[in-house]
Structure 1
Amino acid sequence: MARVVYCGGKFVSEHEARLGLFDRGFLFGDAVYEVTAVIGGKMIDNDLHLARLERSLSELAIPMPLPREEIEAIQLSLIEKNGLQEGTVYLQVSRGEEDREFLYSEGLKPTFIAFTQVKNLLNNKGQTQGLAITLVEDPRWERRDIKTVMLLGQVLAKRDAKAAGFDDVWFVEDGTITEGASSTAYIVTHDRRIITRPNSRAILPGCTRAALLDLCSRHGVVLEERPFTVAEALAAAEAFQTSATSLVTPVVRIGDVSLNGGVPGPVTRQLQACYLEHVNMLRAAG
């Protein structure tokens, strides 16, 4: 059966959905997106994702296409119509459509689309065995805090990492780790402190990151928000990454260096368990 998607202000079959040739998201990458995880048919941390969507749009002076509660209603309808149990709900908003010009007209109506994807979030290889990560110089623009659809740098980096036998990639700038190509990066020191870069224009303010930092605070886990170097990452006791689709995923190798004997470490496993408990509480409350 074809998926039901939201496009043009209505629910339609994915085969019937159409976007205009002159949409600025297509022509200029003038658009932002969000991805919310769905586990057991329930959205996880969706309030954080909708808040970040609104912030990203505000940074680009694009109005929200609908009030938050109406967007959430569309998300819930898509989950129901597609019978989604585990996967994601994707949202994308572009500035709108008009003839191609770098300067845009005021008052354009934003283009809003949404769809679901079935994904294995809980029991994939990364969750159970951990990832091998390569490091590359960060190729992206300076406003990485805005979740735009301009992802070519990430696409090429992930392609090259896979070709070289790695599972994913972390970006490096001025000798320090910025973030993963589609995740927040963390290391664990040998005295069990977690280190992750603070929010700034250099990284995306991760929603799973925000939820995990709150969990660390509540569970008494020591976490430092500061930049960390490549040397610190290679010498770490453990490492992991977070995102809406990867949850808390262990990193067991960085380049040629194995961490914790090449298996997920105890601190990472503790955080995985804490986050899954958080997920289950959200599901029960929903």
Structure 2
Amino acid sequence: MAVGWGRAEDLHLRHAAMDWLGRRTNDGAEPLTTEELKDFRFRGAPLPLMDMQRGIRKPAVLDAALSFRTVYRPDGAERPYADGRGSDGLMRYKFRGTDPQHPENRALRAAMDRKLPLIWFFGVGPGVYLPTFPVYIVGEEPEHLQFIVDAVTDGAIQPHGALEEALKRYVTVETKRRLHQPIFRATVMRAYESRCAVCALGHRQLLDAAHIVPDREEAGVAGIRNGLSLCKIHHAAFDTHILGVRPDYVVQIRSDLLDEIDGPMLRHGLQERHGQPLMVLPSVRRERPASDLLEIAYAVFLEQ
């Protein structure tokens, strides 16, 4: 039987893994393939950061889990485990099976008891994962067969009253910023092969994942079919209703700008795109923008 490392060695591994992931993913902004994840080495030897067969990874040398993952499923397809967010703004991660004492569940519980930082690998495409780190298991709900995951704190702060409500709002906003938004961006960039849908610009640093319907609205879910990969100019034009996209994927420019004379950006970047189809769409049809969401956004564009 393997003898577990002490806390200092355990934390050394976790920090080394997260430092490596930070360098390889631009501080958690870019996803990695399962093949790229195999490049990690600790003390000169390969050490898998994610279990390719199971949801929860606990190396034999550790007494607690190192990471866990949520597999990718296309929109409309059910995941084997329905991970999601609770009403308190915190994320939920389902137990392995229905036995709370399954070794993988015990491994996550051990990380919770010791307040150890973990890595959450979230699938954004087939064989492609976006790591979020550090995250903490801060509780469990056995009646729902799930752990409570905090992507902001380690659960040590337990405020009451007004402070509790303020922290809940903060955690909700920060969870969206640290988890949901990067996952949405990585999924959209992967589907559009890091190119602008309107002009095909391929410089990832100049691209955004735009919501067709804003995420503050009920229909504005952070799903691939509510997303467009847009360069920063076309994203701003879309959000300010200078540029619209019809449900048949044809670009429209606000009529008053079509007669305006300004410079090459207006002429080539906007006016010449009027009436033209999107230049880039996901090759997988079920990942293309939903026509009903485009219709909602286009109706707003026509009102301007």
TM-score normalized by the length of structure 1: 0.30
Larger RCO (CA within 8 A; separation ≥ 6)? 1
Q: Which one has the bigger strand percentage? A: 1
Q: Which one has the bigger helix percentage? A: 2
TM-score normalized by the length of structure 2: 0.29
